[in-house]
Structure 1
Amino acid sequence: MNTPVPGTDTSATHKWAELLSHRTIWKAVFAVLLGIAGALLLPKLFGEEFATRQAARLYAPLAGMAYGAGSRERVSVLLIDDASLAQAGQTWPASYGYYARLLRGVEIYRPRAVFLDIVFRDARPDPTFDAFAQRLCALQASGIKVYLAATAGSDGALRLRTGLDELRGRCFEPVAVTYQPDEVDKVAWSYPLEPRGPGGVARRSAALVIHDDFASRPIAAPAEAMALSWGLTPAREGLRRLVEERNESDGGTRADNAPVASPNEQGEAGRNSAMQAQSYCRADYGPWEIVPFGVRNARFNDAEKPVCVFHDTAYAYDLANGAEDTDSFLEHTFKDRIVMIGTARQFSNDYVNSPIHGRIPGVYLHAMALDNLDTYGDDYKHAATLGFNLQADNLKLLLLVAAGLLPVVLVRVVKECTHKESKHRGFKLTLSDAKRFICEAGWWSLRSAVEVMGSLILVIALLYVGEKWLDIGFLTVVDIAVFALAAEWFEWNERLVEWLFGPAKHRHDSKQHKTKVGLLEWLRQHSFTPPITHDESASKSQKGSTPPR
């Protein structure tokens, strides 16, 4: 019976045995361990990476498309801007009488509720204060719920100015409006449902309170923060009103009251119209939103502008306009809806950054959060982060990490199976060498394309499972996907295995060729062993020799 020469392939069984050797197994194990360790430790050590946020920004339009119209037919926004204040002869801060008249104008159109996103914390002398307080009580008594923005006092409870605080519960309900933007890119990726105040006291946010008051099933045990899903398609009325306001402030002619059509309805001429050019925002471009900026801008010429707001928007000065078309617009915008009133003044700091709509008034944050709660209910997306705990969200993330790293293991096995060892010889200008070079280049290109496609499929699968099944916000899922792919693309597991076990031995390596050894082999070679005598050495040599055939 002939003994096969070591290092040669004799059968498919030998090849698979070599493939599934201890090195490949360790590579798979380290791929999983490195991914989990990276997802757990790197954000704690270095903070969230800006690259992850950029990747999430690319995906945000797709998430907005999937969100559809959401529940925006239930929510509208009324803005108090500089033009509205000027029309009413007001400066900032406006008088309490101005707010009383504003609420009276909204009441005419019978909304379901009114949320005033303006904090009345400090008392100031104003003879019209009583009229404002009476209007709040009258609005509540008429069946229209009233919510006022409030901030936490020293005891953690929500507080308002003297004269209003005594009316809580009877004429309005105070709600929390505290919000902290993302520490890395200052974008509103999440919304606090129950922010903690001084002493760790939980205070229910505006969106949560309003949702629970009108929902058939209130949110049970809400998480501290909700991952926001920003809608993509602009509201028909919201887009028109913003265009009109910008045209007037820029000294242009007021646009026609006809709504601005979407790009598909407008055609090429409509997209390049003067009205669109003067607007700070634009309509959405559907799937074109995810293509590189240069390509998108060459196609539409205004890709640098953010997408217009998602919710129907009116302005305070519209309430003073007695035109018939304006009255129809206000009735459509306010009737049987939650009307959220906020400011949009030029020098105000009440703005948030949306990954889709850019810098917008802060009241839209509460509108989008309420829209999410009305749309998803108990299945709203959680703004979770990996940590060393056994909370339900954390266990879901660990499961998602493991699921994302399993394809990395499969990719490693496939790479080992399809690996072709190159013959170390010089390249000559011969036909056979040229063919060999073309074949190797084609094989490398094909394998790279497959890896890229596999990475995209992995990310899409993680996003689908994370959002649809586990109710995790896509920013967290993108973060996990980045760590899962990094272990494979940067071959961290390959380098760690080589550091421990040394480089892989290829069949073309000669016995005399010296290679580097791994850490474990180095420790074995340099560990203390009893000295071997001359007789013992000879005995072992004879015992291990093979008699000639």
Structure 2
Amino acid sequence: MATKNENQGPGTEKHEGFGWWRVLGRAVLSVVLGLLLALVVPTRFTEEMGAQTIARYAAPFSGYWFDHERQGEIASAPPNEWSDRDITVLVIDSAALEAHGEGWPAHYSFYSWLLSYLDRSPPKGLFIDVILSQSTHHESDGCDKPAKSTGVKKAKPCHVVNDSEDIVGFKRAITRLIANKKPVFLAAVLNKDDTAGTNRDLDGDPELSTVKRVGIEFSAHAVDRLAWTYPLAYLVKVQCDEQIPRDDQREECKGEKKNTPAPGCMFSAAYSIFKYVYDKDKKLDVPCNKASFMSVTWPLDTAAYGLRWRESDDEESEIRHKLWFLRTDRFDQDLQMYCTSSDSKLKLLWRAEARAILRPTSRPLCVHYRTIHASQLEQMDDDERDAAFRDRFVMIGTAFAYSNDLVLSPLQDRIPGVFLHAVALDNLLSRHSELEDIEAWEPELSMDASRWRKLLFLGGLGFVVMLLIVAGKKTAREKFKKSYHERRHWKTRCSAAFWRAKGATAIFNAAFFAISGLALVTFGVAMIVIGTRIHVPFLVVAHVLACTIAVEWLDWSEDLFNWMTDSKEKSS
């Protein structure tokens, strides 16, 4: 029960002592204000400094639990259906291009050479994450096939010209896979007629009609700048030209609405692969009348054979070498690699979390998926090729250190874009029992009841924890005030006791601010991990938490509560 302080200040202000009703009121205000700010304030306002930071702290824990849950899904899946190493990434590197006298983009003959190794070790399926838009010789505009290259050339605006034999050889390599019942997926873009395609030579070939054209475009969400969401379906819109008479336009453009949804949509690479290769029971059906996205969790575990990039000589690496004593990966065998790896997931968790807090303390984690560089193919024996490709789903992409086909992972930093499709497919495979909950969403007033239940559950849990944090903060302040009052012997401002008291107060305030901030961030990370377990997109949780933590850490709830109740805490 609150007790009224006899020594009231000037005026009519009331000073209240410790009371649970005050603690309860402040905790409620912190949670309510956090929810309101998350719903009302534009997402970009708080995301950069708050939500994204907390989500980055939580990513290593989410990845750790994801690896753990995947093992359970594999154990419950039918035998030989899939495994945690079912995906192999084959990357085109500069050394392979140079060895074959190729620039970029490469000729079809180069892809035929790559696919010849898959003939020897047939994969479960193939996805080429490169837009094959190269022209043939009859479309030539002056570009010639290079006889020898001393390095990787930049793409010329005139496009690479292929001989007829080049594209015929490539088609033959694709049809061999199809004949062996190996599904093939090609990266595609939307044409002017709103169909997905590569180029007319490939799209018009009847032998390649069974090859799926899939979408690969990815635009980082305004909040999600680290590739934590992934598209499942792209909404196809008819682009209507108002300057063309209505009777001369397509049927969809004759109505009043412009840019109306087209009858179909284009599926993304990961969803198409999952749908046509793995989802035999049709557990996931994405509608075609709207764009849809899924939440992505990046695995923590690393592959024994990963991306063979070397560490860059940049400012971060210089700082990392200066802070040698703080590095969590200083005992790695190969410190020249761009990434760190370990057989212990707890070590990886510690290194990833240390890097999330202070980047120079560790290099990024290595990729999770077995990665073969094209320049390695000729040195591999049959057993090594079988282990890498046979009955694995193979994704072909590029691995140029300086390229526009790079994505940002919260654990692996900058990596080739093909790994985003790999991790999205891995998420689909690893969530057989909860596929209906994979969609990414943000908090809105008009949400489904199931989403409100999840959000309210997290809100209730967060309220209980916030109540304990507020009570702990209040108790610590009260104890310090009591100790401070008992030792106020000093009367002279310049006495040693005066400066000791002031110094103790300053140390307490700084430590209190830091410890309360650490407790709140720990609370935020735990809430994101719990939210991930019940399939609430963690950027949603992070956004609410960023507002809630700001309200409590900066004591806005205390000031508002005092204003609403016309009272103040017992003064010192």
Q: What TM-score, normalized to structure 1? A: 0.72
Q: Is the 8 A contact 1:234 1:283 kept in 2?
A: yes
Distance 1:155 1:78 in 2: 32
Distance 1:278 1:438 in 2: 46
Distance 1:363 1:287 in 2: 24
Q: Is the 8 A contact 1:53 1:475 kept in 2?
A: yes
**Aligned position for 2:34:** 35
Say whether 1:187 aligns with 2:226.
Answer: yes
Equivalent residues in 2 for 1:398-413 (5 A)? 398-409=456-467, 411-412=469-470
Say whether 1:206 aligns with 2:269.
Answer: yes
Which stretch shifts more, 411-420 or 67-76? 411-420
**Aligned position for 2:64:** 65
Larger Rg: 1 or 2? Answer: 1
Which consecutive unaligned segments of at least 5 residues does structure 2 have? 7-15, 71-82, 138-161, 239-260, 314-327
Distance 1:35 1:486 in 2: 8
Query: What residue identity is the alignment partner of 2:179?
Result: A
Distance verdict in 2 for CA 1:79–1:444, change over 3 Å: closer
**Aligned position for 1:19:** 19
Distance verdict in 2 for CA 1:50–1:193, change over 3 Å: farther
Q: Is the 8 A contact 2:90 2:394 kept in 1?
A: yes
Q: Is the 8 A contact 2:395 2:418 kept in 1?
A: yes
Q: Is the 8 A contact 1:19 1:417 kept in 2?
A: no
Distance 2:571 2:419 in 1: 65
Q: Is the 8 A contact 1:235 1:309 kept in 2?
A: yes
Structure 1 residue corresponding to 2:444, chosen from 387, 390, 406: 387
**Aligned position for 2:563:** 499
Distance 1:435 1:472 in 2: 50
Give, in angstroms, the shift of residue 278 of structure 1.
3.0
Distance verdict in 2 for CA 1:501–1:151, change over 3 Å: same
Structure 1 residue corresponding to 2:113, chosen from 101, 113, 117: 101
**Aligned position for 1:227:** 295
Q: Is the 8 A contact 1:121 1:159 kept in 2?
A: no
Distance 1:79 1:394 in 2: 40
Q: Is the 8 A contact 2:61 2:529 kept in 1?
A: no
**Aligned position for 1:458:** 523
Equivalent residues in 2 for 1:119-134 (5 A)? 119-121=131-133, 123-125=135-137, 126=162, 127=164, 128-134=166-172
**Aligned position for 2:174:** 136
Query: What residue identity is the alignment partner of 2:415?
Result: I
Say whether 1:474 aligns with 2:538.
Answer: yes
Say whether 1:427 aligns with 2:485.
Answer: no
Q: Is the 8 A contact 2:46 2:547 kept in 1?
A: no
SS in 2 for 1:372: helix
SS in 2 for 1:68: helix
Distance verdict in 2 for CA 1:146–1:279, change over 3 Å: same
Q: Is the 8 A contact 2:58 2:525 kept in 1?
A: no
Equivalent residues in 2 for 1:288-327 (5 A)? 288-290=350-352, 292=354, 303-321=361-379, 324=381, 327=382
SS in 2 for 1:196: strand
Distance 1:417 1:93 in 2: 66
Which consecutive unaligned segments of at least 5 residues does structure 1 have? 9-15, 251-266, 509-549
Distance 2:122 2:507 in 1: 68
**Aligned position for 1:49:** 48
Distance verdict in 2 for CA 1:290–1:26, change over 3 Å: same
Distance 1:236 1:418 in 2: 49
Distance verdict in 2 for CA 1:393–1:319, change over 3 Å: farther
Distance verdict in 2 for CA 1:230–1:413, change over 3 Å: closer
Give, in angstroms, the shift of residue 150 of structure 1.
0.7
Cα RMSD of the aligned pairs, angstroms, is 4.2
Distance 1:312 1:92 in 2: 24
> Deviations for 1:499-525, whole angstroms, at most 9, x for unmatched residues?
3343337599xxxxxxxxxxxxxxxxx
Query: What residue identity is the alignment partner of 1:331?
Result: D
Distance verdict in 2 for CA 1:354–1:17, change over 3 Å: closer
SS in 1 for 2:338: coil
> Deviations for 1:41-99, whole angstroms, at most 9, x for unmatched residues?
22347262333222322322232233338544110000111111111222222112222
**Aligned position for 1:340:** 395
Give, in angstroms, the shift of residue 180 of structure 1.
0.8
Distance verdict in 2 for CA 1:198–1:424, change over 3 Å: same
Q: What TM-score, normalized to structure 2? A: 0.69
**Aligned position for 1:286:** 348
Query: What residue identity is the alignment partner of 2:378?
Result: A
Distance 1:332 1:339 in 2: 12
**Aligned position for 2:80:** none
> Deviations for 1:164-195, whole angstroms, at most 9, x for unmatched residues?
22347734111111111243674212111123
Give, in angstroms, the shift of residue 291 of structure 1.
5.4
Query: What residue identity is the alignment partner of 2:394?
Result: V
Say whether 1:166 aligns with 2:204.
Answer: yes
Give, in angstroms, the shift of residue 140 of structure 1.
0.7
**Aligned position for 1:118:** 130
Query: What residue identity is the alignment partner of 2:114?
Result: L
Give, in angstroms, the shift of residue 145 of structure 1.
0.8
Q: Is the 8 A contact 1:154 1:198 kept in 2?
A: no
Say whether 1:368 aligns with 2:423.
Answer: yes
Which stretch shifts more, 459-468 or 337-346? 459-468
Query: What residue identity is the alignment partner of 1:281?
Result: C
Q: Is the 8 A contact 1:35 1:484 kept in 2?
A: yes
Distance verdict in 2 for CA 1:148–1:378, change over 3 Å: farther
**Aligned position for 1:512:** none
Distance verdict in 2 for CA 1:24–1:355, change over 3 Å: closer
**Aligned position for 1:523:** none
Percent of pairs identical after alignment?
28
Distance 2:513 2:561 in 1: 23
Q: How many residues align?
A: 466
> Deviations for 1:180-229, whole angstroms, at most 9, x for unmatched residues?
12436742121111233334453211111111222344442448222221
Distance 1:235 1:140 in 2: 29
Distance 2:329 2:57 in 1: 25
Say whether 1:83 aligns with 2:95.
Answer: yes
Query: What residue identity is the alignment partner of 1:53?
Result: Q
> Deviations for 1:309-333, whole angstroms, at most 9, x for unmatched residues?
2111112233333x53xx3222101
SS in 2 for 1:79: strand
Q: Is the 8 A contact 2:60 2:352 kept in 1?
A: yes
Distance verdict in 2 for CA 1:118–1:427, change over 3 Å: same
Query: What residue identity is the alignment partner of 1:307?
Result: L
Query: What residue identity is the alignment partner of 2:425?
Result: L
Distance 2:199 2:93 in 1: 24
Query: What residue identity is the alignment partner of 1:427?
Result: R
Q: Is the 8 A contact 1:35 1:405 kept in 2?
A: no
Distance 2:4 2:368 in 1: 68
Q: Is the 8 A contact 2:187 2:213 kept in 1?
A: yes
Distance verdict in 2 for CA 1:387–1:292, change over 3 Å: same
Distance 1:348 1:447 in 2: 46
Distance verdict in 2 for CA 1:328–1:35, change over 3 Å: same
Distance verdict in 2 for CA 1:505–1:77, change over 3 Å: closer
SS in 2 for 1:78: strand
**Aligned position for 1:147:** 185
Distance verdict in 2 for CA 1:134–1:278, change over 3 Å: same
